[in-house]
Amino acid sequence: MVRRYAIKGRKRKKEENYDKEEIEQHIEEEETTKKVRTAAVALDEEKAEEVVHELSGIPIVPSDQNTKARVIFILEKASLEVAKVGKSYQLLNSDDHANFLRRNNRNPADYRPDIAHQAILAILDSPLNKSGRLQALYVRTEKGVLFEVKPHVRIPRTYKRFSGIMLQLLQKLSITAVGKREKLLRVIKNPVTQYLPINSRKIGFSYSSEKLVDMRDYVAAVNNDVNLVFVVGAMAHGKIDKEYADDFIAVSGYPLSAACCISRICGALEEKWKIL
C-alpha cells in the first residue's frame, strides 16, 4: 500500500516536470514569434518612410472635415445668476423675481436670462450648426462663470425648462447625457482664449462700434483656412469688452437683439459656404 502511493507520487512529480518544460517551451516560442513580428513591423515602417521621402512632392490630403473652416461663438455677459428665493434656489429673472431684486437693491431690467436662451437656440438651430461647421459655443455670465455647450445639444425650447437646466448646471457644474458619460454642458476655467484655435480671428459685435459693415461682404473677404470666433453680448444693456477681440464691428445701423445679430452672422456664413 505504502509503496503504491510512493510510486504514484513519483509519477505526479515527473508529470509536473513535463508540464513545466512544455510551458517554458511554449513561452519561448511565443517570445520568438513576437520578436519576428516586431522586426517585420519595423521593416514595414522603414519602407513606408522611404516611400514618403520618395513622394515628398505629393502632399498628404487630410479628410474634408479637417480642411473645412469652423466657427466658434462666445456669448458674453449672459444674465444667468442663481439665488435663494424663499426656501429654494432659482435662476433670477425680471418677471418672477422683480420684488426680490428690488428688496436687494438690484435693477430687475438687468436680469434677462431669456436673452441667452434665445441666442443659444439661434446658434444651435441654424443650418450652420447642423452642417457641422460649429466647433464650439461658450457662454460667460455676468459674474464671470464660463461654460461650454456642445454643438449637438438639444436645448429646451421653453424658458421654464431652460432655467431648470441652467440652475442644475450652475449648481452641479456639468450636465451629462442620459445613459452616457459625455458632458453636454460643463463649467470650465477662464479665460476663454485658451480654448480658441491659434489660426483664429476674433470678432466682437456692438451697436456702438464706428465700423459698420455688411456681414456678407465681411465674411466673404476672410480666407477659408481661418477659424472665425464671434463674440456677441447676451445682456439687455451695455456692451462687451474688446480686450481679446481682433476686430470690433457693427452689422446694422440699428440696435439688434443678440438672436437677430447671430441670425445675420449665420446667414452670411451659410451664403458663403453654400449651406442651404
Grouped pLDDT means (10 residues each) for the chain, 276 residues: 49 47 57 55 46 35 54 95 92 92 91 95 96 95 94 93 94 87 92 91 92 94 90 90 86 93 96 93
Q: What is the pLDDT of residue 243?
A: 79
The answer to whether the CB of 51 falls within 8 A of the CB of 92 is: no
CA dist 128 and 192 (Å) reads 22
Q: Name the H helices within the chain.
A: 2-54, 64-67, 98-103, 113-124, 127-130, 159-172, 215-220, 258-272
The answer to whether the CB of 245 falls within 8 A of the CB of 231 is: yes
CA dist 238 and 211 (Å) reads 18
Q: What is the pLDDT of residue 241?
A: 80
DSSP string across 210-262: S-B--HHHHHHTS-TTSEEEEEEE-SSSS----SS-SEEEBS-SS---HHHHH
Specify the 3-state DSSP secondary structure of 172.
Answer: helix
Which CATH number describes the domain made up of 71-273?
A: 3.40.1280.10
177 DSSP 8-state letter: P
CA dist 82 and 168 (Å) reads 10
Q: Quick one: which of 174, 98, 130 has its CA closest to 275?
A: 130
